Structure 1
Amino acid sequence: SEVTKNRVPVFEGHLHIKEIHEAQNQIRELEKKIKELEARIPQRFPDVKFLNYRSKKRILITGGAGFVGSHLVDQLMIAGHEVIVADNFFTGRKRNVEHWIGHENFELIHHDIVNPLFIEVDEIYHLASPASPPHYMYNPVKTIKTNTVGTINMLGLAKRVGARVLIASTSEVYGDPEVHPQPETYWGHVNPIGPRACYDEGKRVSETLSYAYARQEKVDVRVARIFNTYGPRMHMNDGRVVSNFILQSLKNETITIYGHGKQTRSFQYVSDLVDGLVGLMASNYSLPINIGNPIEHTIEEFAILIKKLVGGPSKIEQTSAVEDDPQRRKPDIKRAKTYLGWEPKVWCVLYDKGLLSWSNDKEFLVTSPEVPGLIPIASRFFYETVGLEWGQLSLLRANEELLEQKNSGSNLEN
């Protein structure tokens, strides 16, 4: 009949819906079983120290998925502390901290510190901010907001929970310095309306805010003025000379020097910086402290050396100077030596008989076999270029194998 014919599609539709529900239930059961199996499989993490509840601290690191922040995460996690990373992933990368995801002491929060964060912590390392010219010039207003509003939010959090806060400032607060080397007492020479001003002045204001909160609200603050730093997990496109020169050399492109090349920089290895930050946080010294390597090189010297170490047909050419580019940059680290007992342990790995090469799996290595007592360093600056996953153990093994091959063959040449 017509009635029966009309009901058949409806009945078939009910069967179809029923099958969908059954399939969804089966998927849920499978997901549940997968989670149970994953829970049974022990996840491998780097070894961490056990701390009792009195010694263990709950530590917030803003910008903890970035270049410097992720190395700080590693050190604090291995030391046995509970670490919370807040990052908006503008310059940070999840892959920098993915080896800790799932660990009971680690938490990763996708958060922009321009918005308040309400958590309970004992210490705050405030590292969040773009730090290289292409990144902070991309959105100068946001850079200023991160270093002002973001800093106010972190200082407010420190006030509420009674935490000590370390502000990651920069050598850029000295601008194009007229005093050399730069002590912490030098007030700086900064162009307040230049292309770098969003970062330079943003950091200067963050220092001002920190000490205003210290005086008015009794917030316990530390300020680190960080000088040029290099090491694993650097951005290949951060626009700074280390990454620029090495990438251009490896690609056999012209090595470009902005200006006359007589400008100087002082480069520290990231592990030294992290040691300095941890030491400053643990100290009772509250005035700004320079954290940097006092060995100074010209940009031209650095370009020549990179070309020599990498090899290849790259030429070195000069191009027009960048506006507000500092002409000299060298830290006076007397305060760090006196009050923190800190000075760099890695002395110019790239300069003293270092070795730059590509391993079989295209991991960029920087080794320093000539530095006595120094654990061989394996650095991968350009893992983003080749799209490979990063692992500490594989890098160290690759580096050790490379050194063994070199040492068993001929001696390393300068």
Structure 2
Amino acid sequence: MPRNPEQAIKKAVSLLRLMTYTREVSRWVRLSGSEDEARAFDYLEATLKGFGLDVRRHQHDALISWPGEASLETAGAPQGVDRCITHAFSASTPPGGLEAEVVDAGEREFGPADRGKIVLVEGLAMPERARAAEQAGALGVIFINPPELHEMIISTIWGSPTPENVAALPKIVAVSVRQEDGAALRERAGTGDLRVRLRTAVDTRWRKTPVLIADLKGRDEPDRFVLFSGHVDSWHHGAMDNGSANAVMVEMARIFSRRRRGLRRGIRFAFWSGHSHGRYSGSTWYADTHWDDLYRHAVLHLNVDSPGGKGAALLSEALTMAETWGLAARCIKEVSGQDLQRRRISRMGDQSFWGIGLPSMFVDISAQPAGASPAGDAIASLTGG
């Protein structure tokens, strides 16, 4: 190994290869459990085997939800909104749709006045907000996205449901509209004279989904490893979320496969399905099924999600556990010169291994500065930025 192995590894990173891997994975719309997602897994599996890694591919059952068509029509002018979307694990409406009066809930708590109504809510379609509306007796919820539409999943259940929590699957109809359409709906709702008809089609069923594991053994402690993970499934073509992260993982596998003799411990690369459409069902299944191996042998969970966005040069807001902050802070400082804030990882991003006691570091490591783009600000709202 060279005198400064970290510098040698950084110099070995190929931008051309990163873009090639991203382009290849993003050829397909990778709905969890779909044939196109399987093709992306085929590509990743073949590439990793080409580097000489020990590769295993699992299949397991997961409850997966694919959002389909959605529409919103208003009584009187205007007749509807230009575009709305529904969400994973929303209820589907009957063929004739769901019609009810709309009340503007904004950011307030839900209450008796919302029973039997469709509530208009500010922000992204967050699971806890949808569940609170359902528990208050609302029939449907319209989320006003800031300002463009964002694909979301509204189930509060982590992973596939069990007999103990299956009753918590959403029964409410949920859609999102753009900010300008939401403002028009809010204005009419303020007069007390707004009724809408929602139509949603959501395909929720049990599907076979893949998990891809690729191991590089360490030299001194061959049974111990860092779990380096990211999801493959996507909304649309998902070049950044999460094709770019898959590219990072593949490039690290290539680089470390050529330096395996210098590895004290091993690296286990884990590629999940079921992140976006199963609420982390892939990583949850792996945690449940391989609990003993992870408990005895894993030393760190390193997760990567959505790196490489244009202008995403802000690394100081990356999320870590308290016990991994020191290592993360040193890495961030050496790479960017920025001082890492102390921000705990929230309930997000395939953080399925806390119950095992596995320390975790990072999710979406890079971000755009506040105000740089509406999309960046929306993502920051998910992570507490």
Alignment TM-score, normalising by the size of structure 1? 0.21
Structure of higher RCO (CA pairs closer than 8 Å, 6+ residues apart): 2
Question: As a proportion of its length, which structure holds more helix?
Answer: 1
User: Which protein is bigger by CA-based radius of gyration?
Assistant: 1
